[in-house]
Amino acid sequence: MIEREGQVTADRPLFTVEPWCVREPELRLDRLAQTESVFALSNGHVGMRGNLDEGEPHGMPGTYLNSFYEQRPLPHAETAYGYPEQGQTVINVTNGKVIRLLVDDEPFDVRYGRVHHHERVLDMRAGTLTRQVEWTSPADKTVKITSVRMVSLTQRAVAAICYEVEPVGDSVRIVAQSELVANEALPGGTKDPRASAILESPLVGEEHVANGTKVLLLHRTRQSGLRMAAGMSHDIDGPESTTIDTESSPDVGRLTVATRLEPGQKLRIVKYIAYGWSSQRSRPALHDQVVGALAGARRTGWDGLLREQQEFLDEFWEGADVEVEGDAEIQQAVRFSLFHVLQAGARAERRMIPAKGLTGPGYDGHAFWDTETFVLPVLTYTFPGAAADALAWRHMTLPLACERAAQLGLEGATFPWRTIRGQECSGYWPAGTAAFHVNADISDAVLRYLDATQDEQFEREIGLDILVHTARLWRSLGHHDVDGVFRIDGVTGPDEYSAVVDNNVYTNLMARRNLQAAAEMAMRHPDAADRLGVDAEEAASWRDAAASMLIPYDERLGVHPQSESFTNHARWDFAATKPDHYPLLLHYPYFDLYRKQVVKQADLVLAMHLCGDMFTDEQKARNFAYYEGLTVRDSSLSAQTQAVVAAEVGQLELAHDYLGETALVDLHDLNRNTRDGLHIAAMAGAWSGLVAGFGGMRAGDGRLRFAPRLPGGISRLAFRMLYRGNRVKVTVTSESARYELMDGPGLKLWHHGEPFTLGDEPVELPIEPIPPQPPLTQPAGREPAPRRIDPHGR
Amino acid sequence: MIEREGQVTADRPLFTVEPWCVREPELRLDRLAQTESVFALSNGHVGMRGNLDEGEPHGMPGTYLNSFYEQRPLPHAETAYGYPEQGQTVINVTNGKVIRLLVDDEPFDVRYGRVHHHERVLDMRAGTLTRQVEWTSPADKTVKITSVRMVSLTQRAVAAICYEVEPVGDSVRIVAQSELVANEALPGGTKDPRASAILESPLVGEEHVANGTKVLLLHRTRQSGLRMAAGMSHDIDGPESTTIDTESSPDVGRLTVATRLEPGQKLRIVKYIAYGWSSQRSRPALHDQVVGALAGARRTGWDGLLREQQEFLDEFWEGADVEVEGDAEIQQAVRFSLFHVLQAGARAERRMIPAKGLTGPGYDGHAFWDTETFVLPVLTYTFPGAAADALAWRHMTLPLACERAAQLGLEGATFPWRTIRGQECSGYWPAGTAAFHVNADISDAVLRYLDATQDEQFEREIGLDILVHTARLWRSLGHHDVDGVFRIDGVTGPDEYSAVVDNNVYTNLMARRNLQAAAEMAMRHPDAADRLGVDAEEAASWRDAAASMLIPYDERLGVHPQSESFTNHARWDFAATKPDHYPLLLHYPYFDLYRKQVVKQADLVLAMHLCGDMFTDEQKARNFAYYEGLTVRDSSLSAQTQAVVAAEVGQLELAHDYLGETALVDLHDLNRNTRDGLHIAAMAGAWSGLVAGFGGMRAGDGRLRFAPRLPGGISRLAFRMLYRGNRVKVTVTSESARYELMDGPGLKLWHHGEPFTLGDEPVELPIEPIPPQPPLTQPAGREPAPRRIDPHGR
């Protein structure tokens, strides 16, 4: 029943395809690290990888607290002015998940004895991970174990586990050890620069207490000056003879339950776990905070926590669910993706949403631009409070961003390319500091949130400040040439296979929007703008720069070069590139990638999605076809944008293929690095591919527009979204779209360019078929996997 | 008599101005590190900084063997494909210079007691460093010490010191300790990325022997696998009662001489020092090699060594001397420069010529492109064998350069940006690997050497191989665009304030010459070319690429952009740049420097010097004026090229100013880092500024041309050079130039564009005066220091 490393298992799917669950019907030790990421539970504040209760075997143990990190030096072979000297790395904090079990003195370990049944189920409506095992020990004693684990979405400091064990056949002696373990040994590193730096024993013990069924461990980090507390407390239900003992040492807290179970008897342990951390609060304060959280959780009780969790998720799904008929894998994947996007952001509360959420140590636990560009659009329209919180976090780091801009000789603010707490942590400036578009991406997320919510307080207190400081950045970063054209030279756009280029179209278009919007917002809030020192001349200079912005265009080829001169460069020799030489960055020098036409990820195509009104339909079609031939998708961020724009230009089957790639990135481990954590931004693309792609949703300036059109493999698509106090449901079939107001005052909408008003009555509008489009070509071997069209809808 | 750190000494010159010497009339402890570099002695194989005999005080102790280095890891905050992982650093080897002295038990140390007289003189005709001291100990005993030091130009493993001490007044007890010291403690590092990494205790003792007056220490390095031996042996002349004792331990060898000197008596120690190193030879072999070198030196004797040295230098100066009347500082500086260029290359013999020669640990002891571009021109026309040797060293590393090209996905060979033994050691690829022009610079040095010497064996055995492999590199590095233009995208030119640009004019012109010359040379040597796999099609493809090479030109401004799009970029805000913010790279991020019009060092202007026939006179004048306004000369490599081209465009006074800057870089410590070693390439510019600048010398295709014209401050210039078996002397005054054949069969020459034939009879030709030129502007505060015109010629 268990697959061991090296066995041939490729042809058996890891998970069953079900609409609301991800089920692993048998334990696959060869995929343990991947399943730990997939089964990770998080509320955005506390995250736990889906490690087995007994701790071992594991792919990578992991428990994370949002923004709890250690500093480490960033070494440079040749240093230079402005290089960050300190990095930040998320650390594996005290593990509260561990419950070890001895069956007649034999440790329960799936690698020994016989596993008759092993099933894990992530339930996306209940918000729980359930595990059921039936196991016979080497000494021939059989037990059934059931554990249900949750990280509470309603009590942000709290996680809980309900662990049950019962004998099958003979009576057994049982010892269960429920633990807190700090400074766990982690598996060795990897040469892949994208994987995380691993820090050994990052926690220094400060206090440990054992009391009744409660244990607390307090630790601090060595360099970053952070303090954390982890606590556990228990409800235990077993035969009368059951004994309980607790103990603690600096790095281990342990509750030991010993009993004998006769057939029909059961031991049930409910373990409440709570975490707290702070850079400022004292040890007693943190101690009390965690003890308080434990008391609150225990009062709520296991059933109460389950109920709260379910209610929270019911409310979320009511406004966010996406139904897909015809492609059962996508149905499962879009819910799985929405669930993890929610888990990453729900209770982050003015801390960041990292690229991997709190599911693994990949990318050192850093947040990048993809949060604002790919994750926040989903949250903005489904769970807007989390989008506001994430942007409020950026706003909190604005002083650091202003310092960084000053250090670089620029005005305003420049946000870091990668960070945990706001300081720039990028060790390679051409793909870090130079990627200034992150600033426009943050501004764009602010504008999107404001457009969707009309949250005036946010605009006044947060939005204006961000817009003004980023507009100042753009104004100082660019210059007018002698012809009066505004140029932004020497920056890096989204595509990481080009760097330090002049007039990247994406960057310039997004900067233009940033400048224009800042000028408009300053006019709307003259007093607040005045306090920021914005006068009429400064706003005028932003408008002027925006109006004069250079957008290069190659007349000869009739396409937009991704950046100035891009289309003059040699094309990458795709025919000579072996399939195992992808991702290219691991097999070719940056030098060679940068100077050739080869695209890691949508860049000009992303500009066509986010700034679609700046391109004609014909330009979109020509550009899309041109960049399809160059884009290798070595970044997981690419497929969703290609899905959205493919759908817009009528390449519906291709859009469906790309949707599959972004939606299944982790369920199918397409990039072979799900072990390091989930690709939250790529998964957010499951929603975008369906809603912005096949739903054709675009919004801005109060105009919510749809242009729905389905590919052959999807017979029905229904999605919900929130916009300016309205909850709208859109149901699309191949012939028509039905618009329904679930909530709110009603609004004007657009259907394929035609406006209509949606009130209490649903509106159903026809969808004109389009002629089949000419096939497009991708680099050899880089075509997306075609979606199988399963007539039974499985 | 001694200046201590912190005292005000700025207004007293450090050295006297004399035509053939550099004399320090009093010891300046505050300038010790600078004078150690200035007074360094070397023959290109062994180098010794001008440390005081007694070892202390010192700025930086230093003894170097060409190519004797240690490896160290190159750390990268974010690593990537193709980054070098190992660096190479020159190490301070066993110090053989040390002779300590005790005067009545009181150690001779200039920091204690009283120094009545302290003079050091570098004699550029004798090739010696002489020191004379009169010192009274704290216990009131006075001695006179004279030491003369040399590194032999005729016996490449050998250095020698003649050390004499005599009492002044009372008799004194004297103990002299002549030592070999390995693993000396070095002063702490610096944050300046240009300074060397310092390795502590790099040598592991393998053997030590003391025998008679002879001591040997053998060591090896830990990582690089090199073995070295240092030995000393002595002739001692003193009163009869003198006792001699020797001892050795792994890191110290010591000969102790004890005596009593009555007034009028003298102790004289001649110390012979020899070094050997190898990556392959055994310990006994190395041992014997050094013992043999010592025996040879001792047989020659001190006077014999002095005589050989003098004869070697007489022969050199006969063909290389430059006479300058009207500017005594320049007269001294050009001889000082030629002396150090000779010292760097004379006996390097198929090892590299590092940027600092063997005078200090700066730049980790690496060789760069500046050897071929700035140093070899001087050697080619004055001491051509050393130029051939340096290029033969490059040829020896060709297999490594081919490996590197293959690693980067390129054809042919790419030589390292910085190295000691041939492996790329650059830790920052935009200013390292991407600076492919180094390959054309090496080819150009080959062509220059061949043009000057017609050395057919070198062409066949070395030149062709280098030309073919670099032509292959250029062919694979560039590509034809759809208009059939050959582009070289994404490379870095000489100017390090731009990087990873398209179609750098310098690079493209030099690559063109490389491609053309390779095709021609392959035709001249069909058999050898055939063995290298060059067929007619390949040669044709080189000619075609050369003929189609893109040379961007800005029609609007009427200037050549340094690289494509350069003139569209914003100009650096020089007015807002504080004087103490130079060099800019220590105060501004690369990101900002790269995207603006600001030039660290001549780039387009260097192209106008080296590829002058590709520009019209008007273009030269316009381009020069344009780049004068942008060039900050944060590199010491710049001024000489500006001097040469300023002279060509008639800006003679400006040329004189730049000449002063390059010639006095180390005598005046203009860059405040002479402590780390001399700027050999900048000093070579003293010769180039005079010969190529005011002499207007250009050569190529067998045509040796002159266009002499002097600035107001130089009344007479005479220089000698070797060309195709002729030794030519050119004497220039403001009215005329006299050409004289000192040696050889005679040749055709050009004077201001007019050909004439030089045979046994001198030819004197008039120089037309030119009208005064319009003044040019440099970035604010970056004007070169004006040369004072001293009517007395001091």
Report how far residue B34's alpha carbon sits from residue B60's, in angstroms, rounded to the nearest whole number.
9
- Distance between A165 CA and the closest CA of chain B, angstroms: 47
Interhelix angle A638-648/A652-663, rounded to 10 degrees, is 160
What CATH number was assigned to the domain covering residues A321-382+640-794? 2.60.420.10
Token pair 């957010």 in the structure block, residue: A684
Pick from B428, B499, B502: which is nearest to A77 by CB? B428
Active-site residue (options: A166, A496, A564, A648): A496
Pick from B81, B491, B564: which is nearest to A587 by CB? B81
- Distance between B470 CA and the closest CA of chain A, angstroms: 17
Per the document, the length of chain A is 794
Give the per-residue pLDDT at A689. Answer: 98
Question: Which residues in chain B are closer than 8 Å to A83, comparing Cβ atoms?
Answer: 77
Q: Please answer yes or no on whether B428 and A80 come within 8 Å at the CB atom.
A: yes
Q: Please answer yes or no on whether B430 and A430 come within 8 Å at the CB atom.
A: yes
- Distance between A371 CA and the closest CA of chain B, angstroms: 21
The H or E element containing residue A206 is strand A203-211
| Pair type for strands B252-261 and B243-249 | antiparallel
The residue of chain B nearest to residue A86, with distances taken between CA atoms, is B77
- In chain B, domain spans: 16-317
Pick from A193, A434, A589: which is nearest to B82 by CB? A589
Give the per-residue pLDDT at B501. Answer: 97
| Pair type for strands A21-24 and A114-123 | antiparallel
Question: Would the pLDDT of A10 be above 90?
Answer: no
Q: Please answer yes or no on whether A81 and B502 come within 8 Å at the CB atom.
A: no
The residue of chain A nearest to residue B499, with distances taken between CA atoms, is A500
Active-site residue (options: B424, B496, B538, B661): B496
Give the per-residue pLDDT at B192. Answer: 46
Question: Which residues in chain B are closer than 8 Å to A426, comparing Cβ atoms?
Answer: 78
- CA B459-B463-B468 angle, 5° bins: 125
Question: Which residues in chain B are closer than 8 Å to A585, comparing Cβ atoms?
Answer: 80-81
B600 is in an annotated binding site: yes
- Closest C-alpha among B92, B102, B96, B100 to residue B141: B102
Q: Please answer yes or no on whether B595 and A500 come within 8 Å at the CB atom.
A: yes
A191 is in an annotated binding site: no
Pick from A79, A487, A565: which is nearest to B502 by CB? A565
Token pair 């009593």 in the structure block, residue: B260
Q: For A297-338, what is each residue's pLDDT tens digit?
A: 999 999 999 999 999 999 999 999 999 999 999 999 999 999
User: Where does the pLDDT of residue A351 fall: very low under 50, low under 70, confident under 90, or very high at 90 and above?
Assistant: very high
The residue of chain A nearest to residue B429, with distances taken between CA atoms, is A591
Q: Please answer yes or no on whether B594 and A490 come within 8 Å at the CB atom.
A: yes
Give the per-residue pLDDT at A187. Answer: 83
Contacts of B625 (CB under 8 A, 6+ apart): B776
The residue of chain B nearest to residue A584, with distances taken between CA atoms, is B81
Question: Which residues in chain B are closer than 8 Å to A78, comparing Cβ atoms?
Answer: 193, 426-428
Report how far residue A442's alpha carbon sits from residue A461's, in angstroms, rounded to the nearest whole number.
15
Q: Residue B708's CB: how many other CB atoms inside 10 A?
A: 26
Low-confidence ranges of chain B (pLDDT < 70): 1-11, 188-198, 788-794
Report how far residue B685's alpha carbon sits from residue B723's, in angstroms, rounded to the nearest whole number.
19
Q: For A614-637, what is each residue's pLDDT tens digit?
A: 999 999 999 999 999 999 999 999
Pick from A74, A570, A591: which is nearest to B429 by CB? A591
What CATH number was assigned to the domain covering residues B16-317? 2.70.98.40
- Closest C-alpha among A60, A51, A59 to residue A129: A51
Give the per-residue pLDDT at B201. Answer: 87
Give the per-residue pLDDT at B709. Answer: 98
In the DSSP assignment, the letter for residue B787 is P
- Distance between A206 CA and the closest CA of chain B, angstroms: 31
- Closest C-alpha among B387, B202, B207, B371 to residue B291: B207
Burial (CB < 10 A; 0-12, 13-18, 19+), residue B212, is exposed
Token pair 């070169």 in the structure block, residue: B784
Question: Which residues in chain A are closer than 8 Å to B566, comparing Cβ atoms?
Answer: none
Give the per-residue pLDDT at A194. Answer: 42
- Closest C-alpha among A196, A586, A632 to residue B82: A586
Q: Please answer yes or no on whether B591 and A490 come within 8 Å at the CB atom.
A: yes
The pairs formed by B84-87 with CB atoms below 8 angstroms and a separation of 24 or more are B84/A77, B84/B423, B84/B424, B84/B425, B84/B426, B84/B427, B86/B423, B86/B425, B87/A77, B87/B197, B87/B364, B87/B425, B87/B427
Report how far residue A300's alpha carbon sits from residue A616's, in angstroms, rounded to the nearest whole number.
57
Give the per-residue pLDDT at A1. Answer: 45
Cis peptide before A583 (omega within 30 of 0): yes
Q: For A47-90, what is each residue's pLDDT tens digit?
A: 999 999 999 999 999 999 999 999 988 988 888 999 999 999 99
Q: Please answer yes or no on whether B500 and A594 come within 8 Å at the CB atom.
A: yes
Question: Which residues in chain B are closer than 8 Å to A586, comparing Cβ atoms?
Answer: 81
Cis peptide before B57 (omega within 30 of 0): yes
Distances (CA, A) of A202 to A90, A182, A186, A220, A222: 10, 9, 11, 8, 7
What order do you get walking across the sheet with B736-743 strand by strand? B322-325, B716-723, B726-733, B736-743, B763-766
User: Where does the pLDDT of residue A577 fall: very low under 50, low under 70, confident under 90, or very high at 90 and above?
Assistant: very high
Question: Which residues in chain A are closer than 8 Å to B568, comparing Cβ atoms?
Answer: 481, 487, 489, 502
- Closest C-alpha among B631, B651, B647, B634 to residue B691: B647
Structure tokens at B265: 């008596």
Question: Would the pLDDT of A792 be above 70?
Answer: no
Q: Please answer yes or no on whether A491 and B585 come within 8 Å at the CB atom.
A: no
Tally DSSP H helices, then E strands, for chain A. Answer: 19, 33
The residue of chain A nearest to residue B584, with distances taken between CA atoms, is A81
| Pair type for strands B479-480 and A243-249 | unpaired
Q: For A449-495, what is each residue's pLDDT tens digit?
A: 999 999 999 999 999 999 999 999 999 999 999 899 999 999 999 99
The residue of chain A nearest to residue B82, with distances taken between CA atoms, is A589
DSSP assignment of A378-433: HHHHH-HHHHHHHHHHHHHTHHHHHHHHHHTT-SS----SSBSSSS---S-GGGTT
Give the per-residue pLDDT at B652. Answer: 97
Annotation says A166 is catalytic: no
- Distance between A30 CA and the closest CA of chain B, angstroms: 28
Share of chain A above pLDDT 90, in %: 94
Q: Please answer yes or no on whether A589 and B81 come within 8 Å at the CB atom.
A: yes
Give the per-residue pLDDT at A4. Answer: 47
Report the DSSP beta bridge partners of residue A723. A726
Question: Which residues in chain B are closer than 8 Å to A481, comparing Cβ atoms?
Answer: 568
Give the per-residue pLDDT at B3. Answer: 47
The residue of chain B nearest to residue A431, with distances taken between CA atoms, is B78
Structure tokens at B719: 């220089």
- Distance between A290 CA and the closest CA of chain B, angstroms: 37
CB of B739 closer than 8 Å to CB of B762 = yes
CB of A404 closer than 8 Å to CB of A477 = no
User: Which CATH code, of 2.70.98.40, 2.40.240.10, 3.40.50.2300, 1.10.1760.20, is assigned to A16-293?
Assistant: 2.70.98.40
Mutation target to probe the A interface, by most A beta carbons within 10 A, among B595, B598, B600, B634 is B595
| Pair type for strands A703-706 and A158-168 | unpaired
Q: What average pLDDT does chain A have?
A: 95
Q: What is residue A312's three-state secondary structure? A: helix
- Distance between B645 CA and the closest CA of chain A, angstroms: 28
CB pairs under 8 A between A and B: 147
A141 is in an annotated binding site: no
